[in-house]
Structures are given as C-alpha cells and as structure tokens.
Chains A and B, each alone.
Chain A
Amino acid sequence: MNEQSRSSSFDPNSVRKVVNVNAPQSIAWDVFTQQMGTWWPLAVYKIGNANAVDAVMEPRVGGRWYERGEDGSTCDWGRVLAWEPPSRLLLSWDIDANFQYDPALNTEIEVLFIAEGSSRTRVELQHRKLDRYGDRRDEMRTIFDKTGDWGQLLAAFAQTAAASVRAS
C-alpha cells in the first residue's frame, strides 16, 4: 500500500483488511466460523500455556470464541456479538496488550462475506475500537495492521549494515 492510499483511509482506531477468496460465500463462511482450527496460525497466535490444537467459535449470538489446548484446557478470546450466516459476523476480541484475556476489553472484529458470483467471495475484515487499548493503541494497531514486506526489511537491514560499516 502506498502512502497516499494509506493517508486517505487511515483510522488510528481501526484496521481494515480485504481478501478475495476463490470459494463460494457459504464455504468461505463455514471455513471461517466452523473450521477455524484448521487454518488459524495456532503455533504463534494463541494465549494459553498449553500447545493450542483448536480454535472454536460457538455458532450463536453470545457464543464463546476460544482456543483449546492439547491438555483439554480452554482460553477465551472473545464472544460472538452477531451471527448472520453466510454474510456477516461480529466478534468481540478481548485479548489485552499483554495477551491476557480481559472480558471488559471489547474491541470488535466485523467480518463481511460478500459473494462475487457463485464461486468467489470478497471477505472484508475490520478490527475496530482499538482505542480500548488506551496508551498502547498505536503499538497494538501496528501488530494487527503491519504488512509484511521482506524487500523493505532487507533494504532497512542493508542501510543499517552500511551505516555500521561506515561507523567502524
């Protein structure tokens, strides 16, 4: 994303992501909500002490959203706030800046599944109310929004390395 498009849509309290999926709307919905454990990066994005083996969303308003560890323990991530298959999902994300569950945090994740023909779906995700992180908002927003750019990383590395060679 270039700086211009970033500045025109920049909201310090929310992050927006869009992914186009070659799958019908109903399958995109099912995989997102009911097969989350098959794709969520559980090796890195989990909060419990046990190795996480599943991510589960109870399919109803008020349902729990949690990870399950290999020892059977569960750790809550949030709640289902709106359940409108196959087009709209609203979740609370209640994991604080120290990656602990805090039921009072209530940041929101809205996911829209927009059918584009019979075999493609545009999935729009907005993670909002990041102001709930208080003075750690910017830090958390960066974690959620950051776009990987290996080229940029290598350029930064090359610059740093060149600078340290000049300094020595």
Chain B
Amino acid sequence: MIAMSNAERALDALGDRTRRRIFVRLRDRPRYAGELVRGMRVTRSAVSQHLQVLRAAGLVAVRAEGTRRLYQVDTRGLEALRSWLDGFWDETLGAFKVAAERAASKGRASS
C-alpha cells in the first residue's frame, strides 16, 4: 500500500541524469563513494547528495565496511516500481503462484 508513494519517489530520483548514472554503475556491482566520484563530472559532496536521494527512494542501500561506506542497489525501490506498474492483484497473485509451485515441487521431491 506504500507502493504508490515509494514508486513515485523512485521515479523522481531517477529523473536526474547524474543519479541515473550513479544507479547504473551500482547495478554492475557495489562501490565505495570514492569510486563513484571518479569518472563523474561532479564533486564528492554532490555525489553524496545524490546517493542520499537514491537511498531515500529505496533504490540504494549502504553498509559500513570498517571506516568506509559501501553502496549497493536496494531492490525495494525496484519492487515498488514494479508493483506500481503491475497493479495490486496481478503482483500479489503472481507472487502466490511462484510460492505455491515451489511448495508443490518440494512436496514431489520429498515423496
């Protein structure tokens, strides 16, 4: 039910070209902030601000590795986008089908 607002935040966040470039680079693999600054024509503080927006939109997650911060793609923002596009019951029943079929194949394997 929070999908609508989250999806809109994700769309807004990706509406900026620099943020899209950052997001695409994180899609390849997790990266440190320093790596992200290299090759971009923006300052380190601008990259930090863009990362903050991407995090608020649920598109990017961060974790501490010692004293450094490693950024990676957060799938929640992408899920919100997919739900926003797919609609409530299609999305939900699609997930149910996957789970029921997994349970059925487990049952066959153990019988």
Docked-complex contact A22 and B89, CB < 8 angstroms: no
Docked-complex contact A21 and B101, CB < 8 angstroms: yes
Contact A27:B100 (CB < 8 A) given known A43-B79, A44-B3, A45-B1 = yes
Partner of B103, one of A17, A23, A143: A23
Give the chain A neighbours of B98 by CB distance below 8 A: 39
Contact A44:B6 (CB < 8 A) given known A22-B104, A145-B87 = yes
Interface size class of B (residues with CB under 8 A): 20 to 34
Closest residue of chain A to B93, judged by CB? Answer: A19
A80 to B105, CA, bound (A): 29
In the assembled complex, the CB of A146 is this many whole angstroms from the nearest CB of chain B, namely: 3
Q: Count A interface residues, CB 8 Å.
A: 40
Docked-complex contact A27 and B103, CB < 8 angstroms: yes
In the assembled complex, the CB of A132 is this many whole angstroms from the nearest CB of chain B, namely: 16
Give the chain B neighbours of A17 by CB distance below 8 A: 89-90, 93
Among A29-37, A56-64, A158-166, the stretch in contact with B: A29-37
Having A21-B104, A24-B107, A121-B100, one finds 16 other A-B pairs with CB under 8 Å, namely A17-B93, A19-B96, A21-B96, A41-B91, A41-B95, A43-B80, A44-B1, A44-B3, A45-B83, A95-B1, A123-B93, A125-B93, A143-B87, A145-B89, A146-B86, A148-B82
Chain A positions near chain B (C-beta within 8 angstroms)? 15, 17, 19-24, 27-28, 30-32, 35, 38-41, 43-47, 95, 99, 119, 121, 123, 125, 127, 142-150, 153
